[in-house]
Amino acid sequence: MDKEIEEIKREKFANIKNSECIVIERTGPDWVIHRWNDESVDPISVYSSARLAAGRILQLLHIGPVGPQDHPETIEIELPQ
């Protein structure tokens, strides 16, 4: 079963790698939002709740209105080694 799941993931990734993609990642208590497109990868945004992460996703999708942001934004930038 694990091999089938890995193959499905590889196929899906191959299909989206040249598209704009918004990724929602759950890492313990945090929600991490990634946005990729064929030209770049945005810095990731980390949120402490699903509600805050959903607000960011709505902004990325240009769906509104989204309420005013009343919390600081946290992003992470990885520099090449």
For the segment 29-80, what is each residue's pLDDT rounded down to a tens digit?
A: 999 998 888 788 888 889 999 988 998 898 888 887 666 777 777 777 778 7
The burial class, CB within 10 Å (0-12 / 13-18 / 19+), for 59 is middle
Segments making up each domain of the chain, as ranges: 18-66
Predicted structure pTM score: 0.65
Distance of alpha carbon 7 from its chain centroid, rounded?
22
Residue 29: the pLDDT is: 93
Element (H, E) at 33: strand 30-36
Q: Residue 4 above 80 pLDDT?
A: yes
